[in-house]
Homo-oligomer: A and B are copies of this chain.
Amino acid sequence: MVANRAGASITTVSRVLNAVPVAVSAALRQRILAAAKELDYRPNALAVSLRKGGATKTIGLLIADISAPYFHVLTRGVEDAAQEAGYTVILCDTDRNPQKELKYLDVLYRKQVDAVIFAGGGVDDDRHLHGRNWGSIAVVTVGPHTLPVPRVEVDDRAAIAAAVAQLVEQGCRRIACISGQQNWLVSERRRDGYRQGLIAAGLPIDERLDWPSAFTLETGEACTKQALDAGLEFDGLVAFTDEGAIGAMRALKTAGLRIPEDVAVVGCDDTRIAPLTDPPLSSLSFPLHQMGVVAVEIVLAMKSGLAVENRRFPFELRVRTSSQRSK
């Protein structure tokens, strides 16, 4: 239609609008530019992608739940890097439900996304995703996953182990653990870290101090209350999410226990809530924004045929009042 209005062929219009290095008379060029402007013309990305052979400048981001704190900053990192590179992000909340993941993947395939980022750790060893033919889609995982693709990670085990070590250093000898869903890989890794930490400190492993939970405040509170009601004794506690730790602190306070004097507490992910709780919550901090950025960089590199390596980021234990006992 631009061609029509400018009295030119679509070929010439395409040339002008795409600045193809072919001589076009100044007059025609002006007419075309004017027509395009008047019509507020924008090329149809569908047609372009179809013609050009597939690239859609689109990245699918699969996360558990955008309303869960872990993903906020990570997602922003992905989005920033994508936008910078002229890419667009399709947000996919999967609740770590394999069925939902597969359904979303199907849609992403159809929409011809250039890349897929799995973030936040897999479920059930990502069994449903193994052996899959990704075709030309670049895939990367962020967090604990088992897919044979490039990874962006932190050492979850070492992180939790470091938290345990800090509690031990504060004098804790019976350290409980609010872990997560058994079939979530991130729970497994972190539980490994918990045990390693205990072993490293020469402390016994007591199964009764390992409380499965669901990463939420409510479940964290519930399992802590249950343990207290059962008369279990413990003087330190590490939770795999900040929310779980906050729930635990609630239960502890309700029971009249002091934090950190009676029970010292450490959370995980260092979400924006951590420094605001009462008392301020110690937590493990990961460079989530940067991890999101790097995940995008990796898939872009893959698309360019460059060699890519796994990237491992350092964690940082932010010690706050909840696990800092005064002498």
Query: Are the CB atoms of B40 and A133 closer together than 8 Å?
Result: yes
With A and B bound together, what is the CA distance between A149 and B102 in angstroms?
35
Within 8 A of B (CB), among A83-112: 83, 88-93, 104, 106-107, 109-112
With A and B bound together, what is the CA distance between A89 and B276 in angstroms?
32
Query: Are the CB atoms of A67 and B56 closer together than 8 Å?
Result: no
Which residues of chain B are within 8 angstroms of A79 by Cβ–Cβ distance?
A: 66, 91-93
Which residues of chain B are within 8 angstroms of A243 by Cβ–Cβ distance?
A: 272
Query: Are the CB atoms of A44 and B40 closer together than 8 Å?
Result: no
Q: Smallest distance from the beta carbon of A104 to chain B beta carbons, Å?
A: 8
**Among A45, A58, A90, residue most surrounded by chain B Cβ atoms (within 10 Å):** A45
Which residues of chain B are within 8 angstroms of A47 by Cβ–Cβ distance?
A: 50
With A and B bound together, what is the CA distance between A79 and B68 in angstroms?
14
Interface footprint category on A: 35 or more
Q: Smallest distance from the beta carbon of A257 to chain B beta carbons, Å?
A: 16
Query: Are the CB atoms of B72 and A66 closer together than 8 Å?
Result: yes
Q: Is A158 an interface residue (CB 8 A)?
A: no
Q: Which residue of B lies closest to A77 (CB)?
A: B67
Within 8 A of B (CB), among A14-70: 40, 42-47, 49-50, 56, 58, 61, 65-67, 69
Query: Are the CB atoms of B42 and A50 closer together than 8 Å?
Result: no
Query: Are the CB atoms of A91 and B109 closer together than 8 Å?
Result: no
A residues whose Cβ falls under 8 Å from a Cβ of B: 40, 42-47, 49-50, 56, 58, 61, 65-67, 69, 72-73, 75-76, 79-80, 83, 88-93, 104, 106-107, 109-112, 133, 217, 243, 246, 272-273, 276-278
